[in-house]
A and B are shown apart, each in its own frame.
Chain A
């Protein structure tokens, strides 16, 4: 099974709402990632978890809060977002053994709209 699943597929939220994005993989991967992608732009890295520990935070605003409850799950908690946060949020995973050789497997993404 080489699938990364993400829920929900679409999310519309107001600026005062609190919501969470979920990501799951069952490939035994130990590195998991959150990316943000705007239309016609490449994915931009937000967070990296390596062996369930937050390893990289790309200076993301605190209104985005990641969580890795176990090696298969990754959450992104959203609070007090701004309209400019509307984007496609992609989750990915990789083996976590060799960053130069490990390919990343991406989920289908969550299309987020902030109103």
Chain B
């Protein structure tokens, strides 16, 4: 089932902060975060794993609440380059491969 993200869209002025939430209806072992700029491919931001391990972008922080099956991405002191659509993704192991189900997406626009 597809994770649900909130908010659906947010507009920020440069320098402001934002929080993007991702909620799943199933138990999670890890949560992935990607950003996709208009007309471009999704780019990996970070992975949060059960137990607190993280992997990814040094300038972006996130949290993962395994019990609540939720993750949040924290964008502080936003820059124009942060604009884009943010997707969380939840992996499922199927045999020897993984299926990544992307969330509903959050469109972020940073203005001057």
Contact = CB atoms under 8 A, between A and B. Distances in A.
Q: Is the interface of B mostly helix, strand, loop or mixed?
A: strand
B64 to A, nearest CB: 12
A44 B89 CA distance: 11
Interface in B36-65: 40-44, 47, 49, 55-56
Nearest to A51: B96
Contact of A41 (B96, B98, B105): B105
B44 A104 contact: yes
Interface of B: 2, 29-30, 32, 34, 40-44, 47, 49, 55-56, 87, 91-105
A81 interface: no
Interface of A: 4, 31, 33, 40-45, 48-51, 55-56, 58, 90, 94, 96, 99-109
Most chain-B Cβ atoms within 10 A of its Cβ — which of A42, A96, A105, A107?
A42
B41 A107 contact: yes
A18 B51 CA distance: 48
Contact of B97 (A31, A40, A101, A105): A31
Nearest to B102: A42
Given A41-B105, A42-B104, A42-B105, A99 B41 contact: no
Most buried by B among A41, A43, A49, A107: A43
Most B-side CB within 10 Å, residue of A90, A99, A106: A99
A94 B42 CA distance: 14
B44 A48 contact: no
A50 B49 contact: no
Given A50-B95, A103-B56, A106-B43, 8 more contacts: A31-B97, A40-B105, A41-B105, A49-B97, A55-B97, A58-B99, A99-B91, A100-B29
Nearest to A44: B102
Nearest to A105: B44
Contacts of A90: 41-42
Contacts of A94: 98
A83 B97 CA distance: 31
A109 B43 CA distance: 12
Contacts of A4: 41
